[in-house]
Structure 1
Amino acid sequence: MGAAGRIGRVLDAAGVLAGAVAATAVFDALGLPSPSLFGGLLAGLVRGLAGRRRLAVPRPGMLAAQGLIGVSIGALVDLETLAALARDWLPVLLVTVGTLVLSLLAGLLLRLRPGISPVTGAFSMIAGGASGITAMSRELGADDRMVAVLQYLRVLLIVVLMPVTAAAVYGAEPGSGGPPVDDAGPGWPAGLLFAAVCVLAGVAVGRLLRLPVAALLGPMLVAAALDLSGLSADATVPGLLDSAAFLLIGLTVGLNFTRDSLRTIGRALPLALLLIVGLIAGCAGLGAVLTATTGASALDGYLATTPGGLYAVLASATDSGADATFVLAVQVLRLFVMLLSAPLLARWLRRAAAG
């Protein structure tokens, strides 16, 4: 490739990146969940369908994005969260497994539409961990385009419906929880150091242990270990880095869209929407089970088992006076179970399909 060709590719990539940042700003203003992921997805989709030459996110960038998302997830774990699970660990674990079973059943039903593999169906319907599941889906053999669209369709529905349901059905009273607690952490320099240590050490540990999707699961486990030991000093991934990671994941998925893949997703959407609504209702049923078997209120049980939209759920729990610590504990446990079981599920589903 000549100098003119290289300059053209750089300008092409810069244009797509600028479009992703602009779309992120618009989606952020609209209040969409994960606006940077949606912004990257839209910009990548437009470029993937319109461009004649293939453009891709460099592999080091993709690995760094996976690592940062893993660190963000791992940093959710702390001793207070684990203590909230200690008393009711058995019903919480059973409800978590129940959510996984519901997800697998929904994934099997999604395969009624042609062109959807077992792994793609299951990953599209896994309830919880949308960012992590999307980031690891291609590496585990799923169609990351369909997984991203359906995972975030569920998150969007939850963000829209959850406040209404919590108030109308469970008697939540917005504003009754008092002002939010300031938990800014030690600042971005410590957060930057924390993220770098977790990503570098996590990738090394993941490869040493031969973890699948080592770039995500390794940093996630290292971040959780540092958080539980107190060595993290409550540091978190700086917001700008977090947004950049989501944007790169969105670009990676969007750039791989084709007209055929869009048609496949479009044909699957009506059935997928029904399954997502059924999954949300099923998880609400599991929330009732959690309420009946623990000391949690009906509102706590509903918010703790809502299948996605973690930060929106925590905001609602804090604002309505629910037990935010218990809600976070159940949500984080499910998040870890879903992400750590995903590679095993992918392997099992591929073998079952081959058999």
Structure 2
Amino acid sequence: MAHPAPSEGDASTPADAELHPKPARVRDWARLTALTLAIVVVLELLGLPASILLGAMVAAIIIALRFGQIAMPRLPYMAAQALIGCMIAHALSLSVMLEVADDWPIFVFGVVSVLAASLFLGWSLARMKTLPGTTAIWGSSPGAAQVMTLMSEEFGADIRLVAFMQYTRVIIVAGLAAVVARIWADLGDASTGASTWFALPDPAGLAGTLGLVAATIIVHRIVRLPSISFMFPMVAGAALLEAGWLTLELPPLLLAAAYVAIGWTIGLRFDATVLRHAARATPRILIAIVILVGLCGALSAILVVMTGIDPLTAYLAMSPGGADTIAIITASAPANINVPFVMAMQMARFLAIMLTGPFTAQLVSRWMNR
């Protein structure tokens, strides 16, 4: 039976206490930073896109399992999400949105097909009693991991298993997408020289970008929605860019810091307690994730036939990962990827999941009870 959602900072029950990580010490951050640097260097030598994000994820998982889960501060994570929202806003212009409106049948196919595949897998896991109640439905949702995890507890699901399924899927999808992008793309132009890394940004554009990030944090504290720190800068930034009132400046070092913050936040959510809790269900959960990724790959092939779009763009657009991680991988891959198409598809599915998630979980729960 799920415990009532605790108030912020409350760890009154044993189960709730285990969900609260310990405060991080300087030594913890030093270990995490050093291991992240080492893994990122290896991944860079292998030529993987999004090596900073993946390296931070892997390093955080290792540290959490070896030394215990530590607390990632909320503010850097919100700022990182806001920066990724700004990066997406840079790609989503009004002309792109008009193109989406013209090609709405394609986006309907992409969104509905992936949602149907994930719903079927979640229903199958529930029927096999791999997971209790509606946990399988919430955990199988192909995106909006943070939102689905937080909402699931309100509807009686086991938040630990939902979090395990969601963030395991994010890591697997991110890793596979990076590998596919590495194999498919011509990485001759992938390197970022020192002159690019340390190039001086436009002061006005950087000030406007940081101002939007600050405004996002303020809005998040007022609205208190899990997705607002990602959605607000994306929508507001695209509108301000279209109106000519804002120039977004995203220096590589600033984006790299955002990638690390997101990677650490995801990786630090894995600890020994969660893994023990999910131990018996893990093989079936992993099989379900692999099947979902395979189905989305098959759907991307159908999308290529339907639209003539290049296969890598179709694969990234249909990948059931988090929109922020796919955005990072898409931006890091040097191939001629249709970035607006990928992000428009990802965001359309993100919105559909948030709107239909509770209704779908309740509907399947009623079916299961019958």
- TM-score, normalised to structure 1, is 0.69
Alignment deviations for residues 242-275 of structure 1 (CA, whole Å, 9 cap, x no partner) = 2222322332333343324234566555444544
> Do the aligned partners of residues 329 and 59 (structure 1) sit closer, same or farther apart at CA in structure 2, a change above 3 Å counting?
closer
Q: 2:344 aligns with which of 330, 333, 336?
A: 333
CA contact (8 A) 2:317 2:342 kept: yes
Residue identity matched to 1:148: Y
- Asked whether 1:26 is paired with 2:42, we answer yes
SS in 1 for 2:91: coil
CA contact (8 A) 2:123 2:136 kept: no
Residue identity matched to 1:259: A
Residue identity matched to 1:222: A
> Do the aligned partners of residues 74 and 14 (structure 1) sit closer, same or farther apart at CA in structure 2, a change above 3 Å counting?
same
Q: 2:263 aligns with which of 233, 240, 250?
A: 250
Matches within 5 A, 1:1-355: 9-51=25-67, 55-111=70-126, 112=128, 114-115=130-131, 118=134, 122=138, 126=142, 133-134=144-145, 136=147, 138-141=149-152, 143-161=162-180, 187=201, 189=203, 192-205=206-219, 211-233=225-247, 235-263=248-276, 268=281, 270-287=283-300, 290=303, 296=308, 299=311, 302-303=314-315, 305-307=317-319, 309=326, 315=333, 318=336, 324=337, 327-348=338-359, 351=362
Give the whole-Å Cα distance in 2 for the aligned partners of 1:287 and 1:46. Answer: 33
CA contact (8 A) 2:138 2:148 kept: no
Which residue number in structure 2 is paired with residue 170 of structure 1?
none
Gaps of 5+ in 2: 1-23, 153-158, 191-195
> Do the aligned partners of residues 256 and 274 (structure 1) sit closer, same or farther apart at CA in structure 2, a change above 3 Å counting?
closer
Count of aligned pairs between the two proteins: 322
Alignment deviations for residues 142-161 of structure 1 (CA, whole Å, 9 cap, x no partner) = 54444222223123334435
Give the whole-Å Cα distance in 2 for the aligned partners of 1:306 and 1:291. Answer: 11
Deviation at 1:126, TM superposition (A): 0.8
Alignment deviations for residues 189-236 of structure 1 (CA, whole Å, 9 cap, x no partner) = 455334322222234445666644322222222223223334344x35
Alignment deviations for residues 97-150 of structure 1 (CA, whole Å, 9 cap, x no partner) = 3222223333433455745774675455516xxxxx355555444544442222
Counting aligned pairs with the same residue, the percent is 27
> Do the aligned partners of residues 193 and 211 (structure 1) sit closer, same or farther apart at CA in structure 2, a change above 3 Å counting?
same
SS in 2 for 1:75: helix
Give the whole-Å Cα distance in 1 for the aligned partners of 2:304 and 2:66. Answer: 51
CA contact (8 A) 1:99 1:283 kept: yes
Give the whole-Å Cα distance in 2 for the aligned partners of 1:344 and 1:99. Answer: 15
Deviation at 1:301, TM superposition (A): 8.3
Q: Which stretch shows the higher mean deviation, 155-164 or 332-341?
A: 155-164
CA contact (8 A) 2:113 2:299 kept: yes
CA contact (8 A) 2:36 2:56 kept: yes
